[in-house]
Structure 1
Amino acid sequence: MLRRSTPAVWLGAFALLAPGAVVDRSTASAAPRAEVVAETAVAPRTVDLTIGSPAMDRREKVRLLLPRGWSRDAGRTWPVLWLLHGGVDDHTAWTRDTDVADLTARSELIVVMPNGGRCGNYSDWWNYGRGGSPRWETFHMTELRHILERDYGAGRERAVAGNSMGGLGAMLYAARFPGMFRAAAAFSGYVDTLHGHEPGDGSTGWGPSFSCPGTDWRRVWGHPDHQAAIWHAHNPADLAGRLRGVRLWVASGNGKAGSLGGMPFTDPVEAAAHANAHAFVKRLRDEGVPVTTRFFDGQHDWPYWQRDLHEAYPALMRSLGLPG
C-alpha cells in the first residue's frame, strides 16, 4: 500500500500549483491504509486527488473545490458539501456540467466530489455473499472522510447532495450515518429502490436500473426477496425515520420537457425518478420527518440539476452555518 510523503516543494496551498501540475505523494508502506498518492491542480480552487484505497482494492479519484485562501497550515477547518454524481458518470461531472465552481466561489467551504463508479450505488457490494470490493460506502464515509479531516481541513459540519444515483447516495449516507450530515438533497434521485417491486415477481432494480442499465443488482444488494434485509438497509424510503433532524430537500421533474428544454416526449428515466420521489416523500411525512419538495415539468438532464442545486444551495449553506 502507498503512504503519504510531503515534498519540500509542496508549499501548502494548491493555489500555488499551475493547473495540470501534479504532486506525486507515493512511497512504499506495509500499512493497508488509504492514502493520497497524487494531487493534481486542475483549475483555480479545483484539485484532483488520487487515493490508494484498500476498500476499493485500487486507486480512485476525488475532485475538491477548495475555499479561497485555503492552506494546510491555516489552523482552522471548513464546512464540507459532499456532491455526488449520477450513474454512468464520474468525479468530474459536477464541475464539467454545472457552474458549481462559480456558485461556491464566495462560500467558506470545501466541496467534495468523489468518484462513485459507473453504477456503484454508494454501497459496499454484496458480491453474491462474498463481500469485498467495490466498497464505495467504506471508501467515502471512512477512508476519504478521514483523509479530508486529517489533511485537508475538513470540518464536522457536513451536507450532502446528488443527482440521480447521487441522490440515492445522498439520502443513503445521511440515513445510514445518523448525525454525520446536517442536510441532504436529492435531485431526480432513486430514493425508493423497491418502488414497484412485489415479492416473487423476479425483478430487481426497477427504478435504479433506468439510470444504470446493465447493472447486476444481485451483485450489488443481492436478490430483493432472498436478501431483502440488504435491500431494505439500502433503501432510503425504508430508512425514512432515521432522517429525522436532517434538513431534507427532494426535487424531481415529471419527465415532460419544461422551461429548460428537453425531449419532445416523456422522459421515462425522470418519470420513474418522479414516482420514486413521491413515494419517498410520503414515507417521510408518514414518519413525521419534514422535507422541502420541488416538483416540476422537467427531464433527467443537467440544466435541471444545475437549477436544483441553485435552489437548494441556500438551505444547504444555512444548515452549515454559512450565509445562504
Structure 2
Amino acid sequence: MTPSVRRRPLQVQWRRSLAAGSVAVVLVAGIGAVSAGAAQAAPARTLSAAPVAADTGARITAETKVGANAVDITIASPSLGKSVKARILLPKNWTRGAQATWPVLYAFHGGQDDYTSWARNTDIEAWALKYNVIVVMPEGDDGSYTDWYNYGKGGTPKWETFHTAEVRQLLERNYGAGALRAAIGNSSGGAGAISYAARHPGLFKYAASLSGILSMRSIGMPAMLMFTNASNGQDPFAIWGIPWADDANWAAHDPYSLAPKLRGTGIFFSSGTTGRPGPGDPDVAPWDIGLLSEIAIGANTREFKKRMDALNIPHTAHIYGDGRHNWPAWIREAGFIWPTLMQSIGARKV
C-alpha cells in the first residue's frame, strides 16, 4: 500500500477490535499501488454479433476499443452477481473469427486497484505486442482471488470461478484464446496467480507472483489479511472464514499449504526484504506503509521458498533487498520474468 492508494471507510462493526493489532495494521500487505488514471476510453458499444456465453451464463455485453490492439469488455457475471470489465490486449495478427488460437497471459492486479492497473502503471501493451500472445487483465476488485466462504454458505462473489472459468471460457469462445496459459500478478494478484495454479493443476504453464503473500497462515498473516480487507469496507471473515475456526478453508487457499500441487507448473516469486527504498522508489519516511509491508512480505516469501525447497519443487525466486511495495519494483521483476512467461506458453516474437 502506498500514499496514492484510495482509502475506503471501514463499514464493519468490529473494526476496532481488529485495529488493536497495531503491528498487523502497519505491516498490512496485498495492496497494489495506484497511479494516474487511464486515458479517456471511447463509449462502450454493444457487440453486433452475439458472443458465446460461458457455462455459467456469463456473457459479454459490450466491447470498447481503447487502443490499436486493446479492447475493454463488459462481462455480466452470475458468479459475481454484477457486471465488471476486463482489458484484452490482442496480437498484431489477431482477426475476429479466425480458426487460429493464441497463447494467453493473465495479469492480475493488487488490492484497491482495478483491471486497468497493469496498463496504467507498466508498458505491458508494448511488451505484449512483441509476441503473438493475448493478454487479459480482468477485474479483481478487492475480492482476494477466491470464491467467498460467506460463513460456510458460499454464494457471491465467486472471484475464483469468475477468473478461472467465466473469463477463460469467454476468451476461448470469442477471442481465440488457446489452452496454453500463464499468469502474473502483483501483491494480492500475485498470491492469486499462485493459488489458482495450485488449485487448478494444469490451468497455467507458469505462474509468477510479485510481492504476494504466499503463506497465508503464518504467524500474523491472518490478522494482516483481515485488517486489509476490513479497511476495504468488507467483512473479512466472509472471505476465507474465521481463522482457526475455519482453518481447513484457509489451508485450501493457502499457497504454502497447496505447494505440492505446484509440481509441474513453472513458478516465479519475488519480494523485497529490507524495508528501504529501491531504485525508482519515492523518497518516503522509514515508517511508510509501502516499506514496512514489504518487510513482512519478504519474510513470508522466504518461508514459502523453504517450503518449495523442502518439497524439491523447481522454481525461480528473487528475494532482493531494497524495494518498496510499489510499481517500480514490480516493473523490474515483471520485465525479468516476461521472456520466461512467453516461452512457457510458446508465444513467439513477432
Give the alignment's TM-score, normalised by structure 2: 0.81
Cα displacement (A) at 1:25: 3.6
Match in the other structure for 1:256: 276
CA distance in 2, matches of 1:192, 1:209: 16
CA distance in 1, matches of 2:259, 2:70: 34
Higher strand share: 1
Match in the other structure for 2:61: 37
2:144 equivalent to 1:121: yes
Render the CA deviation track for 1:78-132: whole Å, top value 9, x for unaligned.
0000000000000000001111111111110000100001x21110001122211
CA distance in 2, matches of 1:236, 1:164: 14
Match in the other structure for 2:134: 110
Does the 8 A contact of 2:42 with 2:66 survive in 1? Answer: yes
**Cα distance 1:252–1:45, how it changes in 2: closer, same or farther (>3 A)?**
same
2:317 equivalent to 1:308: no
For structure 1, list consecutive stretches of 5 or more residues without a partner in the other structure.
1-18, 198-202
2:271 aligned counterpart, secondary structure: strand
2:178 equivalent to 1:152: no
2:97 corresponds, among 73, 83, 94, to 73
Does the 8 A contact of 1:204 with 1:217 survive in 2? Answer: no
CA distance in 2, matches of 1:45, 1:77: 16
CA distance in 1, matches of 2:219, 2:143: 22
Deviant stretches of 4+, over 6 Å: none
2:254 equivalent to 1:231: no
For structure 2, list consecutive stretches of 5 or more residues without a partner in the other structure.
1-40
CA distance in 2, matches of 1:25, 1:87: 30
After superposition, where does 1:1-324 map in structure 2 within 5 Å? 20-25=42-47, 33-117=57-141, 119-197=142-220, 204-206=222-224, 209-210=227-228, 213-214=231-232, 215-254=234-273, 255-262=275-282, 263-265=284-286, 267-296=291-320, 297-323=322-348
Match in the other structure for 2:8: none
CA distance in 2, matches of 1:308, 1:207: 24
CA distance in 2, matches of 1:76, 1:25: 21
| CA RMSD, 1 decimal | 2.2
CA distance in 1, matches of 2:272, 2:319: 6
Cα displacement (A) at 1:216: 2.8
CA distance in 2, matches of 1:120, 1:75: 35
**Cα distance 1:236–1:78, how it changes in 2: closer, same or farther (>3 A)?**
same
1:22 aligned counterpart, secondary structure: coil
Amino acid at match of 2:286: F
Does the 8 A contact of 2:293 with 2:325 survive in 1? Answer: yes
Does the 8 A contact of 1:167 with 1:186 survive in 2? Answer: yes
CA distance in 2, matches of 1:100, 1:93: 10
